[in-house]
């Protein structure tokens, strides 16, 4: 007999500001780095996105009908502080105040990400995360939000997928004319993000006594390709570098010893200025948020270029790293239409590992299947593959809870269709379809997919399937 999902379990759904809002230059908003990307003409950009900025009341009404208990969204830094720092933009604050009030009115808990890939372009021009002043800017920005919404928002998230930004910067892209940073630069940026995060977590505890804050790393498990002991070492290496090296600093306030040695050996260790060690120790998360999509399978490195397997268009597949590991195929798992491994049991495994390691409650802040959903006549979207995907993952969540994991909630990606980081509007994730193409905005009408009714029933029964 499995334990039920606990009462108050946060059945939710997620989005991020730049992927859903649109209104990219309205009401005082300045451009962020993602607004300045060079977009292929055939792919939707973020200018209109799902037009949530103008339709948020209609969207929240649908979220309420869906029965959401939580809605995870991000705030666009560029709406709040168009200069990156300095004077707050009142219309920007008003938008999020209205959104939060609308959610609370419908009994939906806001889960607010401070920063989801969309650094203000003005800060990028001053060196972005390579510039230590961006740490102060982030703290200043967070302070504005804690002061404005600290009485209404209980769940805060610091930085979305810092590990994606550092390990796969190409997944987010660089503004027109820019170049991808080199590895030493990326690890220095990462250190600055970690210090900024620690300071913001400490600040949240001062400003918002009832607030809870945590990191949101893309977290997964690595399988070893064979039982060869060197494959086991390779898988362990990569899991450490990809997941624990980021989460360990967030939770324990100090670098993971193996990861630090790895960085040192390759000349990648960041400069740690006086006082940083103390700052890192100041920030303690109240929970750990994880974005989980798939697992990876790893073999021992051959130490040459054959370690790198090219799998176009898929930033989630972890490419190999010569001397560290080689990406391998897993014959036991299916893949999404975009080649992402589907591995519900891997979610249970990952939840167990994160809980065993940190003993903190866990919130799943992303999980889902991107697919080219088809709108059929009669306004029908048969996304039964999405139902199958989520059902299987929810079953494994229940097993993880039964294993002893303290799971706060499940916020799959995405509440509503939005622009994918890479594949524009062709690749959809939502429970709610948005009627638009890549360039052709049609009428942006909202249409419930089959998965909407399924998730609605699931939430109403607190996870009974
Ligand atoms: C995560 C990001 C999200 C979202 C998701 C799906 O890494 O946090 O912003 O984009 O992946 O990725 P994609 O849109 O590339 O399919």
Ligand 1 test: best mutation among 49, 161, 420, 421, most atoms within 8 Å of CB?
421
Which atom, in ligand 1's list, is nearest to the CA of 19? 9
* Ligand 1 atom at minimal distance to the Cα of residue 161: 8
Distance CA(296)–CA(223), nearest Å, equals: 6
pLDDT > 70: percent of the chain: 97
At 38 the pLDDT is: 86
Tokens of 234: 């390779």
Rounded to a whole number of angstroms, the CA Rg of the chain reads 21
The average pLDDT across 355-378 equals 98
Q: Which of 21, 102, 225, 366 is catalytic?
A: 366
Q: How far is the CA of 290 from the centre of ligand 1 (A)?
A: 13
The whole-number average pLDDT for the span 192-219 is 97
The reply to whether ligand 1 has any atom less than 6 angstroms from the CB of 340 is no
Q: Which one is predicted more confidently, 433 or 170?
A: 433
Distance from the CA of 262 to the center of ligand 1, in angstroms?
A: 28
pLDDT band at 303 (very low <50, low <70, confident <90, very high): confident
Is the confidence at residue 311, as pLDDT, over 60?
Answer: no
Using CA atoms, how far apart are residues 430 and 383, in angstroms rounded to an integer?
Answer: 10
Contact 277, 308 (CB under 8 A): no
The Cα 418–Cα 434 span in angstroms is: 8
Span from the CA of 32 to the centroid of ligand 1 (angstroms): 17
Of 14, 413, 428, the one to substitute when testing ligand 1's pocket (max ligand atoms within 8 A of C-beta) is 413
Whether 420 is in the pocket of ligand 1, judged by its Cβ within 6 Å, is yes
Decide: 314 in ligand 1 pocket, CB within 6 A.
no
Ligand 1 midpoint to CA 421 (Å): 6
Could you tell which of 73, 161, 366 is best to mutate to test the pocket of ligand 1, judged by most ligand atoms within 8 Å of the CB?
366
Q: Which pLDDT value is given to residue 169?
A: 87
User: Residues 4-44: pLDDT tens digits?
Assistant: 899 999 999 999 999 999 999 999 999 999 999 988 888 99
Tens digit of each residue's pLDDT (9 = 90 or more) over 164-189? 999 988 888 888 888 999 999 999 99
- Whether the predicted pLDDT of 316 surpasses 70: no
Residue 340 contacts residue 293 (beta carbons within 8 Å):
yes
Question: What is the average per-residue pLDDT within 365-386?
Answer: 98
- Name 37's bridge partners: 175
Q: Is 425 in the pocket of ligand 1 (CB under 6 A)?
A: no
- In angstroms, how far is the first alpha carbon of the chain from the final one? 14
- pLDDT for position 312: 42
Please state the rounded mean pLDDT for residues 417-428: 94
Under the banding of pLDDT at 50, 70 and 90, the label for residue 141 is very high
420 CA from centroid of ligand 1 (Å): 6
Q: What is the 316 CA–ligand 1 centroid distance (Å)?
A: 9
Tell whether the model's pLDDT for residue 54 goes beyond 80: yes
pLDDT at 2: 74
Query: What is the number of the ligand 1 atom nearest to the C-alpha of 370?
Result: 16
Provide the pLDDT for residue 193.
Answer: 98
Instruction: Note the pTM of the prediction, 2 decimals.
Output: 0.97
* C-alpha span between 253 and 284 (Å, rounded): 7
Q: Is the CB of 316 under 6 A from ligand 1?
A: no
Measured at the CA of 451, the angle between CA 297 and CA 15, to 5 degrees, comes to 70
Ligand 1 centroid, distance to 68 Cα (angstroms):
21
pLDDT at 313: 43
From the candidates 161, 225, 239, 321, give the one annotated as an active-site residue: 161
**Burial bucket for residue 265 (CB in 10 Å: 0-12, 13-18, 19+):** exposed
Q: Is 395 marked active-site?
A: no
Q: How far is CA 158 from CA 90, 202, 216, 362, in A?
A: 22, 11, 7, 15
Q: 416 pLDDT exceeds 80?
A: yes
Give CA–CA dist 136/103, Å, rounded. 30
* Paired residues of 445 in beta bridges: none
Q: What is the pLDDT of residues 97-137, one digit of tens each?
A: 999 999 999 999 999 999 999 999 999 999 999 999 999 99
- Complex ipTM value: 0.99
pLDDT score of 317 more than 70: no
161 is catalytic: yes
CB-ligand 1 contact for 366 (6 Å cutoff) = yes
Residue 57 has pLDDT above 70, yes or no: yes
Among 122-126, 181-185, 259-263, 316-320, whose mean pLDDT is lowest?
316-320
User: Of 147-156, 314-323, 360-369, where does mean pLDDT reach its minimum?
Assistant: 314-323
For ligand 1, atom 14, name the residue with the nearest CA. 420
Of 33-37, 286-290, 334-338, 366-370, least confident by mean pLDDT is 334-338
Atom of ligand 1 nearest to the CA of 16: 9
């Amino acid at each position: 007999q499995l334990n039920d999902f606990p009462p108050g379990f946060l059945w939710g759904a997620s989005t991020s500001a730049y992927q859903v809002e649109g209104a990219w230059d309205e009401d005082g908003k300045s451009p962020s780095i993602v607004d300045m990307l060079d977009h292929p003409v055939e792919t939707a950009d973020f200018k209109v996105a799902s037009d949530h900025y103008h339709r948020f009341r209609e969207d929240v009404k649908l979220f309420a009908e869906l029965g959401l208990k939580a809605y995870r969204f991000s705030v666009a830094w560029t709406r709040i502080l168009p200069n990156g720092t300095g004077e707050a933009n009142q219309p920007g604050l008003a938008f999020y105040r209205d959104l939060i009030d609308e959610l609370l009115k419908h009994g939906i808990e806001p889960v607010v990400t401070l920063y989801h890939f969309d650094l203000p372009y003005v800060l990028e021009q001053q060196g972005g995360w390579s510039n230590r002043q961006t740490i102060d800017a982030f703290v200043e920005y967070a302070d504005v939000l804690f002061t404005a919404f600290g009485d209404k928002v209980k769940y805060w998230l610091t930085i979305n997928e810092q590990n994606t930004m550092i390990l796969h910067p190409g997944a987010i892209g660089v503004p027109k004319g820019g170049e991808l940073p080199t590895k030493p630069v990326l690890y220095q940026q990462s250190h600055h993000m970690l210090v900024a995060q620690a300071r913001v977590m400490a600040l949240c505890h001062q400003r918002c006594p009832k607030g809870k804050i945590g990191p949101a790393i893309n977290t997964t498990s690595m399988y070893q390709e064979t039982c060869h002991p060197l494959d086991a070492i390779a898988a362990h290496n990569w899991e450490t570098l990809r997941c624990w090296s980021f989460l360990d600093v967030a939770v324990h306030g100090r670098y993971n010893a193996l990861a630090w040695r790895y960085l040192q050996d390759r000349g990648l260790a960041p400069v740690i200025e006086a006082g940083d060690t103390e700052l890192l120790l100041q920030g303690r998360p109240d929970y750990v948020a994880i974005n989980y999509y798939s697992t990876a399978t790893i073999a021992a490195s051959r130490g040459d270029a054959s370690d790198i397997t090219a799998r176009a268009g898929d930033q989630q597949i972890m490419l190999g790293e010569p001397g560290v590991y080689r990406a391998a195929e897993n014959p036991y798992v299916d893949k999404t239409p975009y080649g992402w491994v589907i591995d519900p049991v891997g979610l249970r495994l990952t939840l167990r590992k994160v809980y065993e390691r940190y003993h903190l409650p866990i919130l799943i802040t992303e999980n889902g299947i991107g697919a080219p959903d088809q709108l059929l006549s009669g306004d029908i979207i048969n996304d039964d593959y999405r139902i199958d995907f989520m059902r299987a993952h929810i079953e494994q969540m229940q097993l993880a809870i039964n294993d002893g994991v303290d799971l706060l909630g499940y916020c799959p990606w995405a509440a509503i269709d939005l622009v994918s980081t890479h594949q524009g509007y062709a690749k959809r994730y939502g429970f709610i379809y948005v009627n638009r193409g890549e360039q052709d905005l049609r009428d942006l009408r909202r249409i419930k997919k089959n998965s909407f009714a399924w998730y609605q029933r699931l939430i109403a029964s607190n996870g009974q399937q």
